[in-house]
Amino acid sequence: MPNGTESESRKLLGRLRDTLAEEGAGQERLDRITTIIAESMATDVCSIYLFRDAETLELCATEGLNQEAVHQTRMRIGEGLVGRVARTSTPVNTPDAPSARGFRFMPETGEEIFSSFLGLPIQRLGDTLGVLVVQSKDARSYTEDEVYALEVVAMVLAEMTELGAFQGEGAAMSARHVQQALFRGGTAQEGAAEGHVYLHEPRVVITNPIADDPHVELRRLEDAMATLRGSVDEMLGAMGKNTDKEQVKVIEAYRMFANSRSWVKRMQENVGLGLSAEAAVEKEQSATRARMESVPDAYLRDRLHDLDDLSNRLLRLLTGQGRDTGAEMPDNPILVAKNIGPGELLDYGKKLKGIVLEEGSVGSHAAIVARAWAIPLVINAKRILTEALNGDHILVDGDQGIVHLRPEDAVAAAFRDKIAMQTQAQQRYTSIREKPATTLDGETIALHMNAGLMADLPSLVSSGAEGVGLFRTELQFLTRARVPRRSELASIYGSVMDAAKGKQVVFRTLDIGSDKVLPYMKATEEPNPAMGWRAIRVGLDKKGVMRMQLQALIRAANGRPLSVMFPFVAQFDEFRDARQHLLDELERERKLGHTLPVDVKIGAMLETPSLAFAPKQFFELADFISIGGNDLKQFFFAADRENERVRKRYDTLNVSFLTFLEQIVARCAETNTPVSFCGEDAGRPVEALCFTAIGLRTLSMRPASIGPVKSLLRRTDLAEAKQVIDAARLSGAQSVRAAVMDWLTGRAETS
């Protein structure tokens, strides 16, 4: 294809289609394809390398190199020019391969006589499956038309590889989506679960990448584009006058992309080269995703994401494959998704046994719901969507942040043993459910649970919790497309109190911002959202929302005791102002003749180090204080808890952090202000033991953690534990963890 004309490209794809339609094994097809490409491109060599594992490429077919090298020549990602293409997912085009950066001579291939080299990734939507290479003896640079035409061929090869057209012996040519695969991500919710994959958004499968008639494909593309533009116009037309301006801007940007002539032109050119309409869309989508990964600007990345989403809509129109494919939810479903919002996740209900996300964060909406449901959640499991299929056997290890897809029997058996041991432990905890968490030296610790959904409340009984130390009120805002009405909130809060049956429920006011952005609220670009406009800062600036929520809480109490806690307080004035807002609303409700709570307690979450050094008047004014461990720890160590590279670098039982907590406990003791510790660390038995040893007497955690924490506390002498902690501090140790673990192990061996 020296001239790279459209007709030549279509001829090549036509020959490939005929070859794929012929009977024959995968190796035969691959061999014929390399011959066809070499002839059409007028090159001396055409070779196809496929991945045999995540790091290794294997020469699987060639025309022009030594045949003995097939399935023998292998290279790692980044090794040689082929490995460079695989690592960067970008073409390498050079007239003098031996002098090119990264060149590696493979003597068994006989390629030393070839000068020019063109290598392109065989990839589908960012998933690189291999590398397509052409070489010539002449020192030539391949033209843009030739490179573009070969990119089209590489995409078709990716589609056919995905569909299993080249199956054969060996790992590199084994069937896709049947081998076991392991994914390492991050832990967002601990626990272990075995089940079957249920894809939140099943992938579009393209079965006809090569066009029979370009004119027909162009009409199909034009018809689908017209439908797409119509649906976007309908979305914009459905927006009322009161719709947030930012939402309107987003849909207008959507419409701009849908009417982009350059976008449509590129897809039309792909069809002209011989691709079907859907394959033409997917080729352009792959290019968009490649650009998304390389663009540093967040705004531009969002716009490219809009284009990627439009491509998905267009593909579903062309293939008829909607989001709802009709696939039944399998037994023990494990949800697998790129990311997911709280509303969508709640729609699945408690049927899910676990969740795996390609993206996500430990403080995301999905993580909040997963903790409420006590099901394991693994985040940042990169590339799992390219490998997982509906119904695949899957194991989720939330403790280690590991996912086993289609595991071997031995792996599955070991995993089931782990689940069985956890189940047995939970059964043991049931026997002490009604007993107090009283230590061997007579100290009784109050264990409360965290909640955020009505579905959490039955755990008050099953877990043995003494109350709800934290009820997150933001979920009722996050799962709606508009601000909830005061009457709706009052009804929900009242139902929560009803379900608690007289046990204390501490309601945390709206904690939004950072990673929790309301869909109907104008997003603000901040360099560091975790330390930006969030929680109490939003409440004090948006007084109408705070006032409405406080009124709902007062009316929900309906004569019962009410406990309200303000989040992310950084200084005394913020608490004083927020507290006064609540007192003002109580006075207004009294004047309106509404029933007031019989008792009101107003507290604050201590999540910033600054608040620990607030004036004494703050501790005197607060009815209670809850140490928000998750945020406090990240600010204390200056380690973002969303950053996997640093969040596990610092130990909760670090001497500095424990000493800081001890100082907070001492300040609260001076003013007789009740203080508790709330967060993930409160639910870890060893951490809980250390917190209580330094003076904390109330802990709030997820319901499933209450049994393990209570079990250890009932078998421990806190005075002895305090001596161990103090000795470790005096020794100069950075953390007391090792000393405490040695002490616990020694006690277990002698008991």
Domains of the chain by range and CATH?
8-166 (3.30.450.40), 180-202+328-415 (3.50.30.10), 214-319 (1.10.274.10), 443-521+531-749 (3.20.20.60)
Would you state the structure tokens that stand for residue 319, as one six-digit string? 């293939």
Would you state the structure tokens that stand for residue 22, as one six-digit string? 């012929």
What is the distance between the alpha carbons of residues 251 and 239, in angstroms, rounded to a whole number? 10
Q: Which amino acid is at 66?
A: N
Within 13 Å and on the Cβ side, how many CA atoms surround 174?
10
For the chain, the farthest-separated pair of C-alpha atoms sits apart, in whole angstroms, at 95
Would you state the structure tokens that stand for residue 364, as one six-digit string? 């995301």
What is the distance between the alpha carbons of residues 629 and 187, in angstroms, rounded to a whole number? 17
Reduced 3-state DSSP string for 702-723: CHHHHHHHHHHHCCCCHHHHHH
Per cent of the chain over pLDDT 70 is 88
CB atoms within 10 A of CB 238: 9
pLDDT above 80: residue 576: yes
CB atoms within 10 A of CB 62: 26
- Dihedral sign, Cα of residue 634, residue 638, residue 642, residue 645: negative
Q: Which amino acid is at 415?
A: F
Stretch (H or E) spanning 395: strand 393-397
Tens of pLDDT, residue by residue over 359-383, are 877 666 677 777 777 789 999 898 8
What is the DSSP track for 57-87? EEEEEEESS-GGGTTT-EEETTSHHHHHHHH
Give the pLDDT band of residue 209 (cuts 50, 70, 90): confident
Q: What is the DSSP letter of 485?
A: P
Phi, psi of 248 (to 5 degrees): -60, -40
Average pLDDT, the chain: 85
CB atoms within 10 A of CB 502: 10
Give the pLDDT band of residue 294 (cuts 50, 70, 90): low
Within 13 Å and on the Cβ side, how many CA atoms surround 118?
27
| Highest mean pLDDT: which range of 6-15, 115-124, 234-243 | 115-124
- Comparing 36 with 305, the larger pLDDT belongs to 36
Q: What pLDDT, on a 0 to 100 scale, did the predictor assign at position 13?
A: 78
Mean pLDDT of 654-661: 96
CB atoms within 10 A of CB 434: 8
Lateral strand order in the sheet of 333-337:
181-184, 402-405, 393-397, 192-199, 333-337, 354-357, 377-379, 186-189
Tens of pLDDT, residue by residue over 94-103, are 999 988 888 8
| Highest mean pLDDT: which range of 164-168, 297-301, 485-489, 673-677 | 673-677
What is the distance between the alpha carbons of residues 470 and 702, in angstroms, rounded to a whole number? 10
Among 170-174, 354-358, 728-732, the minimum mean pLDDT is found in 170-174
Give the pLDDT band of residue 40 (cuts 50, 70, 90): confident
